[in-house]
Amino acid sequence: MPNHPTLITDATVQCGFPLPAQATMHKRLDLNDLLVKHPGTTYCVPVRGESMRDAGINDGDTVLVDTSLIAKHGYIVLAVVDGDYTVKRLYNQNGIIKLEAANPDFPDIEFKDGQELTVWGVVTWTLKPLL
């Protein structure tokens, strides 16, 4: 058994009945290969708060943000609103732009005259500790 994490490359794993082990399906794990399509424009950002919990992003998680992607309606983004960073779902339909929370306890961010929005990047992955 190798003493480093391995990546199963020749099969997927069922979340039900066990899959027979195959000694030939392991190689050294590099999470960059698995998670990062644009290394020069992808960042790890720790998350604080519960406004996106119903989208599977919780307090203490880390999100991967790709600044080279163009944000579209429905994407989860890292945005800057009046100088403050936030992670929200982008709503951009019929000339209406807002940032939607994924928790009914938090209001959406609707913009008023003079407010500034910058979409810094698109969230591509959520990493969460299990222990």
Residues labelled as active-site residues: 51, 88
User: Quick check: 64 and 43 in contact, CB under 8 A?
Assistant: yes
Listed residue (57, 95, 103) closest to 77, CA to CA:
57
Distance CA 22, CA 10 (A): 9
Burial class (CB in 10 A: 0-12, 13-18, 19+), 107: exposed
